[in-house]
Amino acid sequence: MTIMRAQHEGILTPRGAAYEMRPNARNHARTLLVRTARTMHALPQRQGQQAMNEQDYEAAKWALLHAHLVQATPEQRHLYVARSNYGDNQRALAWLADQPDLDRATALMLFWSVGAGSHAQYESLDDVPDYDRDTHQFIGLVQQRFLGGFYADHGIGFDPTRWDGAGPNEHSADELQRMPAQMLQAVDGEHHIDPFDEAYDEDYDDGLPMALVEQLYELADVHIAWEEANPQA
């Protein structure tokens, strides 16, 4: 099912009420989109000046991604968590994890996708290798918020044992013995999303709408041109 069809049929609803972005979030999204539009409008000139250094590039890239996530539907956020590039999505995942309007099913998917199963072996933070401690603390934060009812219910269903991503099935009972039972169980919901359904492939890449992907490619081209013109930078 495509995003447009899902929105039209009203299937992403919090227990029957239409999903609606909070007014302050809508205003924030508009501000971000205006700023991003100005950035994109300036790109041809900046490309000619070869002025998009690493700092400019990262800031412009995040502005585009952040603006999308702020106004994204619960389904679009679910797709992003499932299909985004986990080598370059830490900032976006951290931002999503801080949002109380993130669907609890998406939060559970996020929990498993960042490696909760592997981290269940550690009894305390002292047991975690230094290079993995930030991830371990992030997993603990998502778990704490999930169990505490921090996340919203927009009617999305998710079973970590019945999807193509990381989940409990990849680990033994002994490995998962310290994990709370709720993190192993399905989130009930009327709307079950298969994020790897081929129906999404035409309109999405790495969990992002194609129009946004094209903008990100344009940014990358401008930055690459700057790097080539400034090899010593």
Mean pLDDT of 83-91: 91
For the cut 50, the answer to whether the pLDDT of residue 9 exceeds it is no
Tens-digit pLDDT profile for residues 114-154: 999 999 999 999 999 999 999 999 999 999 999 999 999 99
Write down the pLDDT at residue 51: 67
Q: Are 32 and 67 in contact (CB under 8 A)?
A: yes
Write down the pLDDT at residue 230: 85
Which residues face 157 on adjacent strands? 192
Structure tokens at 182: 């709720």
Tens-digit pLDDT profile for residues 167-221: 999 999 999 999 999 999 999 999 999 999 999 999 999 999 999 999 999 999 9
Q: Say which residue the tokens 């998009």 belong to.
A: 52
Residue 38 region by backbone torsions, left for phi larger than 0, else alpha for psi between -120 and 50, else beta: alpha
Structure tokens at 14: 């919090």
Half-sphere exposure of 185 (CA within 13 A, CB side): 8
Query: Among 219, 189, 213, 217, which Cα is nearest to 201's?
Result: 213
Share in percent of the chain as helix, strand, coil (round to 5):
60, 5, 35
Tens-digit pLDDT profile for residues 11-68: 222 222 333 333 344 344 444 444 444 444 444 444 444 468 889 999 999 999 999 9
Q: What is the pTM of this model?
A: 0.78
Tens-digit pLDDT profile for residues 214-230: 999 999 999 999 888 88
Write down the pLDDT at residue 206: 93
For the cut 80, the answer to whether the pLDDT of residue 87 exceeds it is yes
